[in-house]
Structure 1
Amino acid sequence: MSDSKKILVVTTERIPGQEYEVIGEVFGLTTQSKNVVRNIGAGLKNIVGGEIKAYTELLSEARDIAVDRLRENATAMGADAVVMMRYDSDSISQDMETVAAYGTAVKFK
C-alpha cells in the first residue's frame, strides 16, 4: 500500500481518540470528459428518462481520483489525516466535469 493510501480521510471535524495539529488546507482536483459512446447513451436516456449510468460512473471515477490526489497532497505535506473533507463538482462545458475534494490536513500529536 502506498503511503498516500494510509492517509485517513474523514468528513467530521474531530477524529475520536486523536489529538492533532492543523497543517493546512489540502485538495485534489480532476477534470474528466465524456466520450462519444457515453454521449450517445445519454442522448437516448434524455428521450426515455431514467438514470444515465455512464455519467454516474464518470462522476464516481472522478470522485475517486480527486480523493486519491487529496491523499497524495496530504502525504506531501507530512499529514497523517484529512478532516472535514468535502466534494465540489461543476460542469466546465457540456462534455466536461470537474471534481474537487478538499479538507484540512492534520498531523497527529
Structure 2
Amino acid sequence: MKDIIVVTTENIPGHQYEVIGEVFGVTTQSKNLFKNIGASLKNVVGGEIKAYTEMIHEARNKAITRLKNEAREQGADAVVMMRFDSGSIGGDMQSVVAYGTAVKFID
C-alpha cells in the first residue's frame, strides 16, 4: 500500500498534479470517567490537562490516517492544502476533521 503525501501547502516541490477533489478524515474521541475526574480536579488548580492533550493528539492522528485512506481510495498520490478543524461535543468529547484536496501526479 503506497503512502500518501500530505502537505499544508498548495504545491509539492518537484511535482505537477491534477486535482481529484476534496477528501476528509473525521473522528470523535472521548476519555473515560476516571480521566474526566482527574481533568476536573486539574481545572481547579490550573496547568496542562495531559489526558485531553493526548486525546486531541490521538484524534488528529486518526483523522490524518482516515484522510489518507480516503485519498488512496480515490487514486490520489497526495493531499495538498491539508487543514484541521475541531470542536467539542458536550464536555468530554472532541471531534477533529482533517481535510484537503486529493491530487494525482502527472509528472
CA distance, structure 1, for counterparts of residue 34 and residue 55 of structure 2: 12
Aligned match for 1:21, one of 12, 18, 31? 18
TM-score if structure 2 supplies the norm length? 0.96
The equivalent residue for 2:55 is 58
Q: Kindly, what percent of the aligned residue pairs are identical?
A: 68
The equivalent residue for 1:9 is 6
The equivalent residue for 1:32 is 29
In structure 2, runs of 5+ residues without a counterpart are: none
Cα displacement string for residues 57-109 of structure 1 (whole angstroms, at most 9, x for unaligned residues): 00000000000000000000000000000000000111211000000000000
Deviating runs (4+, > 3 A) in structure 1?
A: none
In structure 1, runs of 5+ residues without a counterpart are: none
Aligned match for 2:70, one of 58, 70, 73? 73
Cα displacement string for residues 1-25 of structure 1 (whole angstroms, at most 9, x for unaligned residues): x43xx00000000001100000000
Instruction: State the secondary structure of the residue aligned to 2:89.
Output: strand
Aligned residues: 106
